[in-house]
Amino acid sequence: MTTKPLERPITDTNVDVDVPWQVVVWNDPVNLMDYVVWVLRRLFGHSVEEATRLMLAVHNEGKATVAQGPREQAEMDAFRLHQHGLWATIEK
């Protein structure tokens, strides 16, 4: 595989304090890396670059915040991620 430099920091820093619920995806030993990219693109409409960045953050850091918003939205995002077999949690 070729080297693809990361153009953005691995963790998200633009957390809005008014929107406290975060949807976190955790690393696991079974989900395929490309599959995780596909799911993130499919569910959140990310570009391939952004979805790949988030997937690598999950893989390398053990977890990554993939979405944030009001609690109801976060719970719906968690549902959709679990529907696709990703290990997702919600936290403030």
Q: Where does this chain bind other proteins (CB under 8 A)?
A: 1-4, 27, 29-35, 37-38, 41-42, 48, 52, 56, 59-60, 75, 78-79, 82-85, 87-91
Minimum distance between the CB of residue 21 and other proteins, rounded to whole angstroms?
Answer: 11
Beta bridge partners of 23: 67, 90
Minimum distance between the CB of residue 59 and other proteins, rounded to whole angstroms?
Answer: 7
Q: Pick from 90, 92, 86, 91: which is nearest to 26 by CA?
A: 86
Query: Would you say 20 or 56 has its CB closer to other proteins?
Result: 56
The secondary structure of residue 10, as a DSSP letter, is S
